[in-house]
Amino acid sequence: MFASIAFVVWRESVEALLVIGILDAWLVSQNIETHRARGFLWGGAAAGLGVAGALAMLLLWLGEAVSDEAQTIYQTVIALLAAALILQMVLWMRGHARSMRSELEGSLDTAVTAGNWLGVFVLALIAVAREGSETVVFIYGILSAGVMGSLLSGILAGLTGFVLAAITYALLMTSSRVVSWRLFFRVSEIVLLFLACGLLMTGIDGLINLDILPRLSRALWNTNALLSDGTTAGGFFASMTGYRARPNLMQLIVFCGYWLVVLAVIYRPRRGSFSAAR
């Protein structure tokens, strides 16, 4: 799906640009052999993109190399893995967003103080490779759901997302009072949680079709008259939210269980909140 892929690339690219921007700004502010240091920094960023590209080629090769039955298993696993990675990323950002800048600058300071320019390279490589690799898995998971017409459409969606990310990053850096980083992360994490649910349901559908999970029932209800998940609009909504027009009991249990767990984790009381209340 064009919109799903464009959104994922947009969100992940903005985060990668933020990380590299923080590291680059710190190097400039410290006046530490700026040209040499930035060379290692941006060289690491380029290497990170190379790692993500290699992973994309590997996933595509594996998808083409396996048999039809094995391909169904492979695509199901990728969809479930993508859902788990999105959920992990959202939860990690909620816990580390405030301290991310200080942690990055601390790691960079340690490398620079020790004269370890390779450390600067590796830090940038890991930061970009992490975001890029996650993006690759997310995109392949979306493609595995069978909602994209072709690989070319996926590439165009990715390019669109990257261009939008560059524009968004520039706006956030120059007009943070209008659109804050906090608002960006909050809105995007909500969409990502819905997208993770959509990928999870795709994976569950695959496990049911492979007879690994039981259906537990026939269709519990039919909302095709309101919104069919077999149409273009309905398919988009289903892939972005996990909606099913004719869900069976297993699908309903997984869908409800996902949101119960997510809400419980997000809104769990923080340590010290009870003592503070007293």
pLDDT by residue, tens only, the chain of 278 residues: 667 778 888 888 887 887 777 777 766 666 655 666 777 788 888 898 888 888 888 887 877 777 777 878 888 888 898 888 888 888 877 766 566 566 666 666 666 665 566 777 887 888 788 878 878 887 777 776 654 455 667 678 778 888 888 888 787 777 655 566 677 778 888 888 998 898 899 899 989 988 899 999 898 999 988 888 877 777 778 877 888 999 999 999 999 999 999 998 887 765 544 344 33
In angstroms and rounded to an integer, the radius of gyration of the C-alpha atoms of the chain is 21
End-to-end CA distance of the chain: 50
How far apart, in whole angstroms, are the C-alpha atoms of residue 37 and residue 28? Answer: 9
* pTM exceeding 0.85: no
Burial of 43 (0-12, 13-18, 19+ CB in 10 A): middle
Extract the tokens encoding 55: 């992973």
Amino acid (1-letter code) at residue 193: L
Residues in contact with 24: Cβ distance below 8 Å, sequence separation at least 6, in sequence order? 38, 41, 42
Of 130, 156, 147, whose CA–CA distance to 198 is shortest?
147
How far apart, in whole angstroms, are the C-alpha atoms of residue 170 and residue 27? Answer: 19
CB 88 within 8 A of CB 134: no
Extract the tokens encoding 273: 């909140």
How far apart, in whole angstroms, are the C-alpha atoms of residue 7 and residue 162? Answer: 9
The dihedral sign for the CA sequence 22, 24, 28, 30: positive
DSSP state of 215: -
The per-residue pLDDT for 274 is 38
The per-residue pLDDT for 253 is 95
The dihedral sign for the CA sequence 182, 185, 186, 188: positive
The per-residue pLDDT for 259 is 94
Of 135, 136, 132, 123, whose CA–CA distance to 44 is shortest?
123
Of 144, 167, 164, 169, whose CA–CA distance to 154 is shortest?
144
CB 204 within 8 A of CB 213: yes
Residues in contact with 108: Cβ distance below 8 Å, sequence separation at least 6, in sequence order? 23, 26, 27, 120, 123
